[in-house]
Amino acid sequence: MQRPYLALAAAAFAVLAAPPAHAQFYDLDGAYRCLTTPDDSCQQAQRERPPEPPQKPAPPSLNEIIARVRAKTLDARDLETLQKDAAANEPRAVEVLAWCKLNGIGGPADAKAAFWLYRQAAALGVANARRNQIAIYETRLTPDERQEVLLRENAR
């Protein structure tokens, strides 16, 4: 019966006999001490601190992208953000991407891609998207491309 008490007493003695814990630079007390009264150990700890990982810049907003589309200065990062938003069915992004594809902003002009993007925009309720899709069909697609989009449309 005395054995459980002996184990408990041994554990308590081990805790009391352990060397005192030293504060690390990264804990709140160490960081506060180094802010208020820095010394050589703080500077050493700062040198040994691992470097911060580089922050990834925030993607541009849709309004920023639209401004660059108007200025015809769209870059690859803008186009990537626009494509990601369009894939997520963001109506304005789909419409802006369709405009870019139609007019060759940020890449080569692609009337067929613009036709399908305007179709997607129309399905999302974008005003005049269907009218733009029809205009592309009538004025920008070659007869072969018209046939191709009709076959694809009828296969749905």
Instruction: Report the C-alpha gap between 131 and 139 in whole angstroms.
Output: 12
Cβ atoms within 10 A of the Cβ of 43, count?
11
pTM above 0.85, yes or no: no
Instruction: Report the C-alpha gap between 138 and 146 in whole angstroms.
Output: 8
Q: Which two tokens stand for residue 124?
A: 């999302």
pLDDT per residue rounded down to tens, the chain (156 residues): 456 665 655 655 555 555 554 544 455 555 677 777 777 877 777 777 788 888 888 889 999 999 999 999 999 999 999 999 999 999 999 999 999 999 999 999 999 999 999 999 999 999 999 999 999 999 999 999 999 999 998 998
What dihedral do alpha carbons 155, 86, 100, 125 form, nearest 10°? 70
